Structure 1
Amino acid sequence: MESLSFYENQFIKADGLISEGDTAGAKEVLEEILAQYPDFGKAHNHLGWIHYNKLSNYDKAIYHYKLAMKFDPKYPASYLNYTYLLVDIGRYSEAKEHIAHTFVTLENADYCSYNSELARIAEYEGDYILSYRLYKAAQKNALNPNFIDNMAANMKRVYHKMSIFEKLKLKFK
């Protein structure tokens, strides 16, 4: 059995392969890592990402994200990636519970991204006032100029979806 540091280096290689667009190569390397170290949380996260984003295999993605959070509970990417998946597949109540759990358990949660996802859920559910406010909260604490611009565009889109009464409520609350 090779040392863990070898597999950490293999993980870095897999991460690079994903960045280069070689998803198949990355998947192969990640599966090799997990064959030797089944509790390597970051490898589970990346496999979850591949199953979700490239293979549309949501059940396998969920499986790997849950293992990633179990085996590496301080790795924030797994929590956020799992959130994106739950929202994208319309499991809003699970996503809200997961986000609430993440806020309690994860020290370095990206509140901007989570507020953006909560806003997206509220928008899908037709609660445009809440959605607008959450996008605004996400924007307020953000540092990335592109993220800030995206939140502004999201707020504008949601504002245009509001009824006249919702717009008035927004202004006077």
Structure 2
Amino acid sequence: MESLSFYENQFIKADSLISEGNSADAKELLEEILSQYPDFGKAHNHLGWIYYNKLSDYERGIYHYKLAMKFEPKYAAPYLNYTYLLIDIGRYAEAKEHIKFTISNLENADNSSYNSELGRMAEYENQYSAAYNYYKEAQKNALNPNFIDNMKANMKRVKDKMSIFEKLKLKLK
């Protein structure tokens, strides 16, 4: 078995391949890494991302995200990626529980992103006031100007969907 540092370098190559849009070669490299180091959490995260985003194999994506969180419990990426996947496949109750757990237990959780995702779910469920408040909370702690602009656009879109009574409630706050 080759040294872990060799596979860490291979992981960096796989990450670059994904960035370049070469998911097929990245997938092969990640599978090779995991054949030697099945507890390499970051490789599981990236493989989960490929299964979810490129192959639409949600169950395999979930499987790898869960392994990534198990083997790298302080690595934030699989927690957020798993959230995106759950929401995209409509498993809102699980996503909400996962977000609650993550915010409570992960030191470096990106609260702005999680509030944005809570807002997205509330909007999908036609709970426009709640969505507005989640987007507002997401914007409050954000640092990225593009993210802040997106939250403003989300709040405007949701406000446009609100009934007159919901809009009045916002003004009374």
**Does 1:69 pair with 2:69?**
yes
TM-score by length of 2: 0.99
Q: Which residue of 2 aligns with 1:10?
A: 10
Residue 84 of structure 2 is aligned to residue 103 of structure 1: no
Q: How far off is 1:84 after superposition?
A: 0.4
Distance in 1 of aligned mates of 2:157 and 2:87: 18
3-state DSSP of counterpart to 2:73: coil
CA apart distance, 1:37: 0.4
- In 2, Cα distance between equivalents of 1:154 and 1:90: 19
Equivalent runs, 1:5-84 vs 2, <5 Å: 5-84=5-84
Percent of aligned pairs with the same residue?
79
The residue that corresponds to 1:156 in the other structure is 156
Question: 2:147 corresponds to which residue?
Answer: 147
- Aligned amino acid, residue 144 of structure 1: N
Q: Distance in 2 between matches of 1:87 and 1:154?
A: 17
Which amino acid counterpart does residue 119 of structure 2 have in structure 1? A
Q: What's the CA shift for 1:99?
A: 0.3
Q: Deviations over 1:6-45 (max 9, x none)?
A: 1000000000000011100100000000000000000000
Task: Determine whether 1:119 maps to 2:119.
Answer: yes
What amino acid does structure 2 have at the position aligned with 1:41? G
Write the deviation string for residues 114-153 of structure 1: whole angstroms up to 9, x where unpaired.
Answer: 0000000111111100100110110111110110110011
1:78 and 1:144 map into 2 onto residues whose CA distance is 21
- Partner secondary structure for residue 9 of structure 2: helix
Divergent runs of 4+, >6 A: none
Runs of 5+ consecutive residues of structure 1 not aligned to the other structure: none
- For residue 74 of structure 1, report the CA deviation from its aligned partner: 0.4
The equivalent residue for 1:94 is 94
Rounded to whole Å, the distance in 1 between the matches of 2:18 and 2:123 is: 31
Q: Where does the alignment leave 5 or more consecutive residues of structure 2 unmatched?
A: none
